[in-house]
A and B are shown apart, each in its own frame.
Chain A
Amino acid sequence: MPEVAHIALATGFALVLIGFYGALTQRNLLRIIVAFTLATTGVNVVIVAIGHMSGRTAPILDAAVPAAEAVSRVIDPLPQALVLTAIVIGVGITALMLAYAYRLFETRGTLDIARLTELKW
């Protein structure tokens, strides 16, 4: 019987691999941006999965989880705080990538990276 953490971890790794495959093989900038977003999501899922502990509950105290028992009842809150930060920054990065892609299309008339060769050596 595999644990939830193992399933989530495998999903995260698979998302990272799919994202990298897309980013490395696609030619269209928009598709590359989507692929990067997938890979970022995969990394986030991996981090959250590592913080999971079986038999414990979310790091929120209430009637079911009194403050005195918190240490033995809740999962690690740190990975969740990290991922919350990472998701928000990820949105900012995606918006930046889209804005650059838009400007590139406006000035060059193409989104095909094979035709944008200035930085190639």
Chain B
Amino acid sequence: MIRRALVLVLLAVLGALFAALWLGFTPAEELGLTGRYYAEHTAPDLGAANLVTAIIVTYRGLDTLGEVTVLFLSAAIVGLVLAGGRPAARRKPPVPAGELLATGSRLLVPLILLLGAYVIVNGHLTPGGGFQGGAILASGTLLLLLAEPLKRFSHGLITRIESLSGATFVALGLLGLVFAGGFLDNRLLPVGTLGELFSAGLMPVISVLIGLKVGAEFSSMLASLSETEDS
């Protein structure tokens, strides 16, 4: 009882703090210094139409490299934590997925993968990019696992896709250090015309690599979680 009262007091204090912040908030009228720089320089310098992708892939590309590394680490730890003590034989077969889910997944999975590829490849033009597309690809994996819980994905293949795209990502970044303006500079390839698919230099290539890496990492997490189910 006292515990719950303490929690409510704490939340009330926090709520009062939030209310003060909310009352004092006026939306900005002008872009901040950094935002203004990105809005002014993205199109002429990098040739990308989507400012958010330009920030993630090129301006803050090093941070994105760190982020996919964090994601890789968490996928690896999930695999490690769940790997120990896995029973050799299942006690009972899982409930069958049902006609709707089984047939629906056969229809939907190719479409989901296509949408994921579309979102990844057009990341520098429209809303999207490597992370979003990678998550869509992994949702295809999730649907496959739901429809067929005993399905096993090749961890070797996932690892190979993941490490190959990661290594290419770093190698392209290093090439930028030598042949262009700096680490992960997208002007390694010609910038092209704004708004075309083959524009923005290296940006679509790096989006594809990020998408593959993120998709593989999420898929590996899902596969690890699914393989330990009802053990």
Interface residues of A (CB under 8 A from B): 3, 5-6, 9-10, 13, 16-17, 20-21, 24-25, 50, 52-54, 58-62, 67, 70-71, 74, 76-78, 80-81, 84-85, 87-89, 91-93, 95-96, 98-100, 102-103, 106
| Interface SS majority for chain A | helix
Cross-interface CB contact of A77 among B39, B77, B85, cutoff 8 Å: B39
13 inter-chain pairs at a CB distance below 8 angstroms, sorted by A residue, are A5-B25, A5-B27, A13-B19, A53-B27, A60-B51, A60-B125, A70-B39, A70-B51, A74-B31, A84-B132, A92-B71, A102-B82, A102-B228
Given contacts A24-B10, A81-B55, A88-B71, contact A76 B35 (CB under 8 A): yes
Contacts of B125 in A (CB 8 A): 60
Contacts of B214 in A (CB 8 A): 88
A61 and B27: CB pair below 8 A?
Answer: no
A98 and B67: CB pair below 8 A?
Answer: no
B50 and A89: CB pair below 8 A?
Answer: no
B4 and A78: CB pair below 8 A?
Answer: no
A67 and B44: CB pair below 8 A?
Answer: yes
Contacts of A80 in B (CB 8 A): 52
Q: Mark B185-213, 1 if CB is under 8 A from A, else 0.
A: 00000000011000000000000000000
A60 and B126: CB pair below 8 A?
Answer: yes
B18 and A17: CB pair below 8 A?
Answer: yes
Given contacts A16-B18, A85-B63, A85-B67, contact A60 B25 (CB under 8 A): no
Cross-interface CB contact of B51 among A59, A85, A87, cutoff 8 Å: A59
Contacts of B129 in A (CB 8 A): 84
Among listed B92-100, B149-157, B163-171, B217-225, interface-contacting one? B217-225
How long is the Cα–Cα vector from A75 to B187 in the complex, in angstroms? 26
Select the residue from A70, A81, A93, A103 with max chain B CB neighbours within 10 A.
A81
Cross-interface CB contact of A99 among B60, B71, B78, cutoff 8 Å: B78
Cross-interface CB contact of A96 among B51, B52, B74, cutoff 8 Å: B74
B102 within 8 Å of A (CB atoms):
no
B52 and A9: CB pair below 8 A?
Answer: no
